Structure formats: C-alpha cells, structure tokens
Structure 1
Amino acid sequence: MSQDSLLKQPKAVWAVFFAGIIAFMGIGLVDPILPAIASKLHASQSQVTLLFTSYNAVMAVAMLITGVVSSRWGIKGTLLAGIITIALFSALGGFSNDIGTLVALRGGWGLGNALFVATALTAIVSLSNSGTAQAIILYEAAIGLGISVGPLLGGWLGAMSWRGPFLGVAVLMGVAFVFLLFMMPKQAGQATKAKTSLLEPFRAMKHRSLLVFGLTACLYNFGFFTLLAYAPFVLGLDEHGLGFVFLGWGILLAVTSVFMAPKLQQRYGTVKSMGAMLGLFAVLLLVMGIWTDTQWVTIACVVFAGALLGNNNTLITTGVMNAAPVERSTASAAYSFLRFIGGAIAPFLAGKLAEWYNPHVPFVVGAVFVFASVVLLMLNKKHVQHVDLVEAGH
C-alpha cells in the first residue's frame, strides 16, 4: 500500500524528481576527473579539492537565503533559477584554463545547487500526497539515482577531456530546465504572501533538536566529503575505473536510501539507526586510513560506504523534517547551512593533511569527526527522539 502511494504522485512531484536526478548527477560527475584536473592544470591535490570546498561553502551560505528567495519567486521560479545558474557556471568551468578560475566558478555552481536542492526537498514534501516520510524517500531516490549515474557519465566524458563533464552538466541542466518549465504547473508552489526573513534559519536553530541534527550532519560530512573528494587520489585508477567504483557507491546509496532506511527506521527508530550507520561509517574510514595503500581494500570500502551513507542520508533528512515546529523550508535551510559547512572544510583539509603528513591521515581524521557525530547524537538523544513520535502521528 505504501509503495502505491509512493508512486501515485502529482505531475509536479515527478517533474521535480526527474530534474533532481539531473541536478544531483553534477555532484558525482566531477569525481572521476579530479586526478586528471590536477595533472592537466598543474595543480596540487589540495588545490583540486578546493573544487568541493568552494562549492560547499557557497552552498552553505546560500542555503540561508533559499527561503527568502522561494517565498518571493515561488517554488517553480526558484527551481528554474537554480537550474539555469548551474548550467551557466558549469559551462564556463568547461572553458576555464586555470585552477583558480575553476574553483571560483564551482562556487557559482554551488549557489545554483543551493537554490535547487533546498527548494526541491520543500517542493516534493509539500506537493506530495503520500506524507513526509514517503516524499523524503522519493527525494533521496532522486539524489541516489543522480549520484550513481553521475560518476559513470563523468568517467566516460572525462576520458575524452577533463572539460567534458563540466560541459555535460550544462547540457543536462538545460534539459532539466525545459522539463521543469513545461511539466510543473505554475500554481504548484507560487510565491507566498508571507515573506520569509533572512533570520528565520538562525531562529530555527534555537530548537535544540534541529541544532543537534545540523551539527551531527556537519561532523558526518567531514567523513562524507573526505571520501568523495580525496579517495579518487589514492585509488590509483583512470577516469573509467573511478567512474565504475563511484557507480557502485552510488547504486548502493540509492538502493539503501529508498528500500533499507525506512525498514531500519520502523524497526529501530531514527536516532538509533543513525547512530549505528554513523558508527559503522567511522570504522570504515578508519579501515581506509590503515590500509590506504591496499587498492582492493580502499575500493571495497568506497563502494560499501554507499550503503551506510544512503541509509544515513534518508534517516537524518526525515529527522530534520520532523525535528522542530518550523516551516519545512526553514528547517531545511538551517540544517543544510550547518551540514555544508562540514562539506566545505573537509575536502581542503583532507588534501592539506595528505601534503603535511601522508595519505593515511585524511581518512583517520575523517573517522574521528564521524565518531564525534555519534557522541553528539547520543549525548542529546532525549532532545531528538521525539522525531519518531512525530512520524508515527502521535
């Protein structure tokens, strides 16, 4: 029955879903070409990891204005603005000739992604007719599909030229723009009469539960983006090889986020399940830190990490949506701001730690941060365990 309600959605929801797949392709698309960019543009590993840092830093700050923008432009207008911004900056990135320009343009891409990502979650949750939990599963499915297909396409285009994936994203976002323009009804998410204030996300952080989830995600993202931005440098594979490894990672991420996470949530509850997934991820990063030089171990760890991250992403997003009595768009903006701060610091830190010490250290430090997220979550358990009661309808 739940599967039926998940698939019986208004046309507007499917429009956002398919545009979301294309938008999230952009995250993994660049992954297989990181070593190639370092080689072709004569850049160090830490300089190349700045492609993730500028992207996430701009996205973190921009998340704070997404509510303000969407309350004035409406959901459809904000989504279209986000898509066109991504297309523009990724196309310009494909024509750039030095790492500094490319890093700056990735920041512009982050702005577009912020407008799209925060609004897409709000759109799917508010326009869906099957409840918050099911809508979030749909949103995570779009993320998973996009992230899993992205590296494969990135590896294929990147084998021709490192510029290929950047130009590929621009073309795909053009397709998403047309798709959303015609498939999403204008009345689905028009501008609201009550204009959202810039201070709303900060006010929302006064709610202990939302703050705890946000800080947990911030610490967890240190591990997530260490894996995403730094692992390609130690795997010793070409563009195609990296594409296939991250395809496996993305498939597991997609499958677990849709099928396994809801079962874990029903059986053990959101907070316990999150603690378990984060704990296992910390152990996995530690294994990668110890056996960094053993190729099959690092490849297996990257692929298996997809399962842990897929589960955790759905669990934490569901928790955030039910954490505090604030607008969902405001909750999403506050949480995403905190979350992407971790994603901004981690890639550059990983590159620098490898330069200062050795390739093992970034993964060990990532493991410490993820373990800290488990400690934070467990110390504040009483402040966040109400999310399961909200979801159950109590």
Structure 2
Amino acid sequence: MLFLVLGALSGIAPFSIDTYLPALPSISRELSASASTVQLTITACLLGIAVGQLVIGPLSDRWGRRQPLIAGMTAFALSSLLCALAPSMWLLIAARAGQGLSGAAGIVLANAIVGDLHRGRGAARYFSRLWLIGGLAPIVAPLVGGAILQFATWRVVFGLLAAGGAALTLAATLGVPETHPRERRSRGSLMLTLRLLGSLLSHRLFMGYVLTGALMFAAMFSYLSDSSFVYQDVLGLTPAAFALVFGANSAGQLVLSQVNGRLLRSHSPRQLLGVALAICLAASVALALLVTAGATSFLPVTVLLFAFVATLGMVNPNVPALALTLEPGHAGSAAALLGVTQFACGAAIAPLAGIGGNGTAAPMALLIAVLSGAGVLVFLTLTRGAAPFDAE
C-alpha cells in the first residue's frame, strides 16, 4: 500500500503538468495569449513546486511527514478546482502557482519517506520501483488530456486533477504511516534550519549530485514546455497523435528506470548515472545539430527525443539516491534542497524554449543540448573523487 501511495504522490505534480500539455495551444487561443505567456502556467507551477518543497521539507523534519502531506494534498485539490474556474490567463497562472505549492508536498515528502526508510543501493532500487507508479504519469497524463480534449475543454482536465487531489488526500490519510518519529525530529529555530540548509549548500558531493540532477531536469522541462508546439505546429501532429508520441517517450523512460533497478545488482548508482548522462548528451547534441541544419522531420526528431527522454529513466532514480544517502539525518531538508533546485531550474528554462515562436524546434533542441552538456560537466567536476561505492 505504501509503495503505491508514494508513487502516486511523487507523480501528482508532474501529472498536473503533463495532463494539460496537449491543451496548451487551445488555452492560447481561448484566452488570447502567446505561446510564451501560456508557458508561464508551467513556470508558475514549477516555481510553486520549488518554493513549496523548500518550506515543506524542513517543516517535515520538525513536525513529521504525515500532517504536512495530508494538508498539502487537500490544498492541491482546491487549487486544481480554481484552475478549472479561472476566467483569464493571469488568474490561471496564479492558480497554477498554488497548485505547484501544494503539490510539492507529494514530491518532497515521498522522497523524504524513502530517505527515512532506505539508503544507497536500497534507496536507488526503491526510487526505480516508484517509477512504476510515478513514471506512469507522463505516459497516461497526455493521453488522458488528449482524450478529454476530443470531447470537452481544457477546464475539464483541471476538474479531473481536483478529483485526483481529493483521492490522494484520502489515500495519504489511510495509507501513509509516520516514518519520522518524534525523537528524530529537529527542534531548533528558523536560524538553525537556515544553517542546516547552508551546510548542505557547502557540501561539494551533495551539491554536485543536486546540480547534475537540476540541469538534467531543466533539459527535460525544455522538452516538456515546447514539445506540444514542436509536434503540433512544426511537425503537424494532432493533439491525440502528440499524446501518443509523448506517451511513447515516457514509456521508454519508465522501462529504463526498471532496467536501472536490475543493473543496480552489479553496478553502483554513480556508475549508472555516468553512463546515462553520456547517452543523454550524445542524443541531445545530435538533435541540436539536426534541427539547426534545417532537417526538421518527424522520424529523426522523434527518435533522438526518445533516446534522450528514455535515458532520463536512469538519471532520475540515481540522483536522489546518491544525494539523500549523503545526508541521512536530515532527509526532509536534503530532499527539499534537491527538489527546489530542480524545479527552480525547470521554471527558469521553460519559457526560453518558446522564444523562437511556434514555428521552430531550434530553441528547444539547443537548450536540451546545452543543459545536458552542463550536467555532464558538473558531474565530472563536483563529484570527482567520489568512490563508486559512496551510496552502497
């Protein structure tokens, strides 16, 4: 039961993004907004998720995991309902920020609970298993969104998310035990919490893994924020066809996350992370060269994006496992810093993918390549000297 609930909790905020991706063009038309303005709904949600994790994570070190989790899921349901009722673009952006703030509880506390219960390879395997549930979000979400758009408007998508938030509130209440007992909780002041965050920021290995994950996360969100425009406006796919392609890419990521779990029996999380980063860099550079050369056709673009997105299935489980294992006594704060860095980078990058307008894939492809290169560089420099068994 706990495994299923944690997987759903870790996937609810990404689900809230991926479900309405096929609707971005229709939102743009209905609310008379440009592509870049519509993409601010993604940025607002990502910023909300980042800030929410930074607040909720340390609070859970002091108050435990259960109560912040239940409160967050309740607020997520209400924020989703506000999104469904938003009469203007700017009110929708504000409601999306609230949705991100509350949805952050699911991400940071699911990570913290895994950190409470597991270490090293055990944590990496558990995170890989969570992708069986959380990883379904980017597969199912756009399919659901695309199907809804065949018969209803984008507002129904957010109504569905409100119902999902209510269901997760009930699931968290009934199925999540307290994994951070009173005797292990922080009892210090706000200043002590800030000092703890400062010490995490100065931890070279920890920040090396955090920044590597954040840069790859930003590369992924370059794809997420612009893929609907690239596939529909540049390559000519319908919303339903885009949902199928998007779902196939996400299915590849899910499969490789499970392959990662198998490979952990004979390889360390750090070794697998290094291989995955190299594959992501190769695929993203090839995509950038292809698109800038003007060869924007369906098959090569789709194959290279699949290679990049699928291989993230070996990045996503290993980064938190490596980072959280280095800070076992403060899983909530460590998970918060990991999450806030990832989502802040994603929020900053998302609007940039659309600066070239709706008719080009070049900004997205170049951003993915540059960010992947930066991720590899950070991994090679800041985590140098780390033993291959540093997270066993």
One-letter code aligned to 1:194: S
Q: Offset at 1:281? A: 4.4
The separation in 2 between residues aligned to 1:370 and 1:20, in whole angstroms, is: 24
Distance 1:294 1:178, change over 3 A: same
Q: TM-score, normalised by structure 2?
A: 0.87
Q: Find the residue that maps to 2:202 and give its secondary structure.
A: coil
Map of 2:106 onto structure 1:
116
Indicate conservation of the 8 Å contact 1:78/1:115, yes or no: yes
Which amino acid in structure 1 is aligned with residue 171 of structure 2? F
The CA deviation string for residues 129-162 of structure 1, in whole angstroms up to 9 with x for no partner, is 9932322223333321222211111111233211
The 3-state SS of whatever aligns with 2:148 is helix
Which residue matches 1:8?
none
Distance in 2 between residues matched to 1:127 and 1:382, nearest whole Å: 28
2:165 is equivalent to residue 173 of structure 1: yes
Distance 2:299 2:334 in 1: 40
- Find out whether 1:278 has 2:268 as its counterpart: no
1:43-192 map, 5 Å: 43-127=33-117, 131-159=122-150, 160-185=152-177, 187-189=178-180
How many angstroms does 1:77 deviate by? 1.2
- Verify: 1:330 aligned to 2:354, yes or no: no
Distance 2:351 2:113 in 1: 32
Q: Using the alignment, how far apart are the partners of 2:322 and 2:100 within structure 1?
A: 24
Cα deviation per residue 1:291-325 (whole Å; 9 max; x = unaligned)? 57313333333333331111111222222123456
Q: Which amino acid aligns with 2:42?
A: F
Other structure's SS at 1:42 match: coil
How many Å apart are 1:265 and its aligned residue?
A: 8.2
**Does 1:238 find its partner at 2:238?**
yes
Q: What per-residue deviation string (whole Å, max 9, x for no partner) do you get for residues 170-217 of structure 1? A: 1111111112222234x4445654236541233211100111122222
Aligned to 1:254: 254
Q: Is the 8 A contact 2:128 2:260 kept in 1?
A: no
Residues paired across the two proteins, number:
378
Distance 2:16 2:218 in 1: 20
The 3 A distance-change label for structure 1 pair 329 and 345 is: same
Q: What is the alpha-carbon distance in structure 2 between the residues aligned to residue 170 and residue 287 of structure 1?
A: 42
Alpha-carbon shift at residue 229 of structure 1 (Å):
0.5
1:227 offset after TM fit, Å?
A: 0.4
Cα distance in 2 between the residues matched to 1:322 and 1:275: 20
CA offset at residue 61 of structure 1? 2.4
- Asked if residue 213 in structure 1 is aligned to residue 209 in structure 2, the reply is yes
User: Which residue is 1:3 aligned to?
Assistant: none
Give me the whole-angstrom Cα distance separating, in 2, the residues matched to 1:288 and 1:37. Answer: 30
Q: Percent identity?
A: 23
Contact conserved, 1:52 with 1:229, CA < 8 A, in 2? yes
The answer as to 2:295 corresponding to 1:304 is no
Partners of 2:9 and 2:202 in 1: how far apart?
33
Q: Map 1:282-297; keep pairs closer than 5 Å.
A: 282-283=284-285, 285-286=287-288, 289-290=291-292, 293-297=296-300
Aligned to 2:322: 319
Ranges in structure 1 where 5+ consecutive residues have no aligned partner: 1-10
Partner of 1:223: 219
Classify 1:134/1:271 alpha carbon distance in 2 versus 1 (closer, same or farther; 3 Å): closer
Residue type of the partner of 1:152? L
3-state SS in 2 of match to 1:391: coil
- CA drift of 1:45 comes to 0.8
Residues in 2 aligned to 1:97 and 1:138: alpha-carbon distance in whole angstroms: 40
Displacement of 1:223 in angstroms is 1.5
Displacement of 1:276 in angstroms is 1.7
Q: Which residue number in structure 2 is paired with residue 194 of structure 1?
A: 186
Task: Specify every segment of 5 or more residues in structure 2 that has no aligned partner in the other structure, as ranges.
Answer: none
Which stretch of structure 1 is more off in the superposition, 280-289 or 174-183? 280-289
TM-score by length of 1: 0.86
In the aligned structure 1, how far is the partner of 2:283 from the partner of 2:324? 23
